[in-house]
Structure 1
Amino acid sequence: MSGHPFGLLEQSEEDALHTARLLNVEERPFARVSKRLLGKDSLLRTSAQLPTPPPDESEADQEQERQKKEQERRQWREDVMLDFALLESTFIRIQFLKDSNEKERQRYATEKTKILETAQAVRDNTAELRVQLEEAQKTLTLRKEYDVLAEKITNNRMLKPRDEQRANLEKLNAEIADLENEGEEYEQTWVERREQFDNIMAAGKQMLRVIRGEKDEPEKDETMDDGEEREDGEATKENSRMGTPGPDMGGEDDEVNSKRSRGPSQGTGANTPAAGDAPTPDIGDTVPAPAEKPMDTDMMEAGETPQPAPVSELEEGEAAEDSAEEGEHMDVT
């Protein structure tokens, strides 16, 4: 006889057997049927010993005994049928219970999934609400600080009402607009005065050119009458003297500069303009007076040799020329 190999079951199989086991209440119908069919009082079992011969009885007794056995068989049959009906109902109830349990397990799994999803959503919502709470707390703190500052501002007695402040702002805006318009007018006036000044300067320079031309013509006529025998020596001497001034020339330059710094008004005694009149530009200050060097250069270009003069005569001539130029400048103004 080969033995059946029984081994240890896995944990999942043991759990399945444990959940599928029959309870004591469910085993009773099966045990009752098996006891009814296989018990020692069962009619299906045959006795191992022959029955004792019955005593001599009458036919009435035998008939009564036979009816009694038929009654017992009929009763046993009814009991067996009832036991099988109970077992069948038990099987049906177990099947229904199993189906119901499966449905409940499925419903429980579905509800578990929903509960887990809801819990996760609640966690996410809680985290989001926590972030919103932190932002709201920061906003509340900032608003409290603003409230403190606003309270300090509103409780300040130095502040004026809104209407008065609005009127002051409008007044300031109007003043700003007036100042801007005035600035534009001043700019236009300044441009016009600058143009007038440029025109006056141009006219003064033109007059100086005319006066300088009239002054140079007699001098050129006088120098043209001189001889040309000392042309080379005098030209070389004049060029060297133009490049390197002598010691006496410094005194002359200082005298000329002092006269120019005094101005034509002091030299000629001309009337000064009134305080309310516009200042007239001094042509002598803006345009330098013609010196001896340009005239000498013009004479050299014309091929004429200037007449040498002593240093004292040159100084007197330059002083006279400066006084004449001051007078000319004054006449121009």
Structure 2
Amino acid sequence: MKKRTYVALFLSAMALFAARVACANEDSYPNKPITIVVPFSAGGISDNQTRLIAEKLSKAFKQSVVVLNKVGASGMIGAEYVARSQPDGYTLLYGTHGTQAANLALYDDIRFNPPKDLKAVHSLWRQSSILVTGSATPYKTLQNLIDAAKAAPGKINYGSAGKGTQTHLAAENLQSVAGVEFTHVPYKGSAPALTDLIAGQIDIMFNYPESTTQFIQQGKLRALAVNGANRLTVLPDVKTMGELGYPDAALEGWSGIFAPAGTPDAVISKLAGEIAKATHDPKIEASMKKIGSFTMDLSGPDFQKFVESEVPHWRSIVESSGAKNN
């Protein structure tokens, strides 16, 4: 009997010791470099946004914050790497609507569950796109385009950065909402699609402001609508889908920082506080608005609920689009 009592006391003491160590570790967080994994190529919007956050976190925590690009499988290689990392707050993910929601509908072979295996820390930005057409087309307005599409189903074609990308799903969503039919021309990236759009080889496409605005301002492309909740500061006269009578056609991307499931709440809270400060930095907010990115203010559980609600939303769009990849 005494032996069992000693064992029980020993286990209780060890549990208490472990709890105190964990608490001490959380209080001293971070005491070593942090890595933020970007599951996309260096130099893109995702990479650039992450580096802005990394710089701010590094100054706030007085620790090195490294950006690591782990590319492949539409972002899922990097996302899985973080999901399987130690849940201590030192390996984080720049996640998007793709890695956390849309890809679950696009692929059958995902080896982990993003909403469960990755814990939401704090949202970053929601990303608008622009519906554009070549300057030589007859489509002067969104309604012109929709009327023409209804009159000749399938005649108007649109380019995208590839099957299942946001540029593809945005067009599919517009078709569904407006009751029209376009013909999809997928490309390997948005750059070649944009080149063909300017050359008149395709009729329309959705693309991001960062790579499209200059061509609109030069008169090589015509903007028909902003595919988001807000007008763009760089194109203030271009109305949103909602303003033009098609609010349900708006399809914004979004991004945020995630940690492995099991990361202590105290660590999540500390990270979330500093990320919120970074996204509201006036210079960062101004630069983000120029490329159609608007600050999101969701933290911890609220952001987690938002992510979970986005899974069925993107699934319905993928299923209606026929974009499933396997």
Structure 1 length-normalised TM: 0.19
| TM-score between both structures, scaled by the size of structure 2 | 0.19
Q: Hey, which of these two has a bigger chunk of strand by percent?
A: 2
Which structure dedicates a bigger proportion of its chain to helix?
A: 1
Larger Rg: 1
Per chain length, whose mean CA-contact separation is higher, i.e. which structure has more relative contact order (CA < 8 Å, sep 6+)? 2
